């Protein structure tokens, strides 16, 4: 896959750690999520270099059983981004079953409502760690509450795992 076909690159070890952390934070009982971060003005394009789980920004993010961010949590995110010159490239959250389509709530409440932002849905509260992206729901925000499903087999830009 050439770079022009890539919306997002995620290093494999970071992907594995993200899933492990979401599994731990959800305890197999509720959704958990994270913002996936890259460097502003970096030379690596849209490559994830770090992430922060929602509850690290807002301790009440999982209190209802689904992921919700308060204004204070979002302010903490923007403060972190400014401090480290990060930009939010995507978000990921878990669902309770193998169903990885966006819920109506997911569609109407994007974590970041900016065109080309990516949202990822990891099944089964991330209890089964996945070595690849198969079975993960990936969606690109188009604006005005419209989303495009990112399918690595359709020839359009997608998400890939990298070694580094």
Placement of tokens 């494999």 in the chain: 12
- Nearest residue to 90 (alpha-carbon basis) of 24, 3, 18: 18
User: What tens-digit pLDDT sequence spans the chain (164 residues)?
Assistant: 344 567 899 999 999 999 999 999 999 999 999 999 998 666 567 899 999 999 999 999 999 988 999 999 999 999 999 999 999 999 999 999 999 999 999 999 999 999 989 999 999 999 999 989 999 999 999 999 999 999 867 777 789 999 98
User: Which domains can be identified in the chain, with CATH numbers?
Assistant: 3-162 (3.40.140.10)
Query: What's the rounded Cα separation, in Å, for the pair 87 and 47?
Result: 10
Tell me what pLDDT residue 23 has: 97
Q: What is the sign of the dihedral through the CA atoms of 92, 96, 101 and 103?
A: negative
Residue bearing tokens 């849905």:
121
Per-residue model confidence (pLDDT) at position 6: 74
DSSP for the chain reads --GGGEEEEEEHHHHHHHHHHHHHHHTTTS--EEEEEEETT-TT-SB--EEEEHHHH-TTTTTTSS----HHHHHHHHHHHHHHTEEEEEEEEE-SSS--SPPHHHHHS-SS-STT-EEEEESGGG-S--SSSTT-EEEEEEETTEEEE--TTSSS-EEEEE--
């Amino acid at each position: 896959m050439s770079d022009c076909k890539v919306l997002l690159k995620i290093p494999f070890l970071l992907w594995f750690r993200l899933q492990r952390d979401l599994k731990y934070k959800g305890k197999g009982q509720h959704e958990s999520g994270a913002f996936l971060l890259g460097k502003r003005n970096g030379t690596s394009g849209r490559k994830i270099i770090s992430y922060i789980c929602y509850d690290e920004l807002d301790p009440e993010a999982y209190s209802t059983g689904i992921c919700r961010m308060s204004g204070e949590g979002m302010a903490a995110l923007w403060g972190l981004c400014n401090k480290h010159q990060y930009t939010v490239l995507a978000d990921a959250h878990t669902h309770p079953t193998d169903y990885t389509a966006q819920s109506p709530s997911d569609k109407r409440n994007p974590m970041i409502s900016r065109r080309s932002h990516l949202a990822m849905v990891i099944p089964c509260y991330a209890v089964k760690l996945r070595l690849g992206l198969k079975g993960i729901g990936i969606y690109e925000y188009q604006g005005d509450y419209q989303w495009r499903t990112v399918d690595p087999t359709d020839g359009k830009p997608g998400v890939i795992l990298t070694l580094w």
